[in-house]
A and B are shown apart, each in its own frame.
Chain A
């Protein structure tokens, strides 16, 4: 077929284009609600542990995971827009990790040495990691769907960032159930747990985001 003809047909089918960012934000919220519903089924009503951990510890958890989720999604969107540089949005994700590491170091420094091990690894380390990874799965699925109008130039990078966003959203959901009070636990358990879906996303990036 001639190129002119193709152009005429493409133009004839042109409609106003939807907003990709809004689509992704909606998908994120929808996936997150599914995760919450899933956790509710397995773990019962949320926010029961706040009585033991205190509101400050809960706020740190929520702040860390929400900041991480927002920055990852922003970087994932940047990865799907040709012409946008990825370095800065990707580097920004590290900022909450560094800030929280400082808090964790201060906290560990002022703690009784005998209590440090539990502050770092909690009492149910693997349960936490598993819950975060499972809670990230519905978010991952809807995010992959919502990402389709975007055009990732480097599919593995896009897959990594989508996985990281899903992991962070899963962590936000699990934060409502977590009974570990320390900031150090967020670094040692939550952060690796969020990296698991990210690595899966990177590995599946090429087939998943091919266009």
Chain B
């Protein structure tokens, strides 16, 4: 019985994906919504109790679906493709997490920094904080939160798309908060 349900899902998802590839925004939006549900369940099973990370991964995977949609071979099942994308994003996430855990997190100011003007110090502080992030996250935060650009202008200035500016701001600030808490 569940096999049948899966097949119905597959047929429906594939039809939506093909319509989406042809530029139908509504079919595509429905596809992303249904995919988000599946992805949430998929990541929850693998990262139990880590809702924030699960939601980040869902969003990252949705963006990957969007950017890599041309890699879908329409003769193959959509769910196999979705699973491949989700698995790659999960592995990438775990790898980044492992790397972050194995790097020493503190490394703020040394004694040599004393005597600097306050404003420079404040700016340095921001730069040090932003240096903890990926360049794209740092750019997104600097442009929108420090230079005060709109998301649209920030997207133009940085060459990132608007959704990815938003995601990068969101993820970057999350990471900064986590880093500052860790530091005490």
Q: Hey, which bits of chain A sit against chain B, CB under 8 A?
A: 1, 3-20, 80-84, 149-151, 153, 211
A17 touches B69 (CB 8 A): yes
B25 touches A14 (CB 8 A): yes
Within 8 A of A (CB), among B39-76: 55, 58-59, 62-64, 66-73, 76
Q: For the complex, is B138 an interface residue (Cβ under 8 Å from A)?
A: no
Cα distance A83–B76 in the bound complex, in angstroms: 7
> Size of chain B's interface in residues, with CB distance under 8 A?
42
For the complex, would chain B's binding face be called helix, strand, loop or mixed by DSSP majority?
helix
A17 touches B21 (CB 8 A): yes
Which of B73, B161, B170 is the one whose CB lies under 8 Å from A83? B73
A83 touches B81 (CB 8 A): yes
Cα distance A10–B76 in the bound complex, in angstroms: 23
Q: For the complex, is B109 an interface residue (Cβ under 8 Å from A)?
A: no
Q: For the complex, is B33 an interface residue (Cβ under 8 Å from A)?
A: yes
Cα distance A134–B63 in the bound complex, in angstroms: 37
CB proximity of A104 to chain B, nearest CB, Å:
36
Cα distance A149–B49 in the bound complex, in angstroms: 34
Contacts A6-B62, A83-B80, A211-B64 aside, 11 further interface pairs with beta carbons under 8 A come to: A7-B33, A9-B163, A9-B166, A13-B162, A16-B21, A17-B23, A81-B81, A82-B80, A82-B85, A83-B81, A153-B87
Which of B73, B84, B162 is the one whose CB lies under 8 Å from A153? B84
Which of A10, A11, A80 is the one whose CB lies under 8 Å from B71? A80
Q: Which residues of B contact A82 (CB under 8 A)?
A: 71, 80-81, 83-85, 88
A153 touches B88 (CB 8 A): yes
A10 touches B84 (CB 8 A): no
Q: Which residues of B contact A81 (CB under 8 A)?
A: 71-73, 76, 81
A6 touches B29 (CB 8 A): no
For the complex, would chain A's binding face be called helix, strand, loop or mixed by DSSP majority?
loop
Q: Which residues of A contact B26 (CB under 8 A)?
A: 11
Cα distance A17–B66 in the bound complex, in angstroms: 10
Given the known inter-chain contacts A82-B80, A83-B77, A83-B83, please indicate yes or no for A13 contacting B161, CB distance below 8 A.
yes
Q: Which residues of A contact B73 (CB under 8 A)?
A: 81, 83-84
CB proximity of B133 to chain A, nearest CB, Å:
16
Q: List 8 A-B contacts (CB under 8 A).
A: A5-B166, A7-B62, A10-B32, A13-B163, A82-B88, A84-B73, A151-B64, A211-B67
Q: Which residues of A contact B88 (CB under 8 A)?
A: 82, 151, 153, 211
A151 touches B166 (CB 8 A): no
Cα distance A153–B77 in the bound complex, in angstroms: 16
B71 touches A14 (CB 8 A): no
Q: Which residues of A contact B66 (CB under 8 A)?
A: 10, 13-14
A151 touches B25 (CB 8 A): no
Cα distance A19–B72 in the bound complex, in angstroms: 10
B70 touches A20 (CB 8 A): yes
Which of B59, B70, B162 is the one whose CB lies under 8 Å from A149? B70
Q: Which residues of B contact A153 (CB under 8 A)?
A: 84, 87-88
Q: Which residues of B contact A84 (CB under 8 A)?
A: 73, 76
CB proximity of B93 to chain A, nearest CB, Å:
13
Cα distance A172–B69 in the bound complex, in angstroms: 32
Cα distance A149–B73 in the bound complex, in angstroms: 12
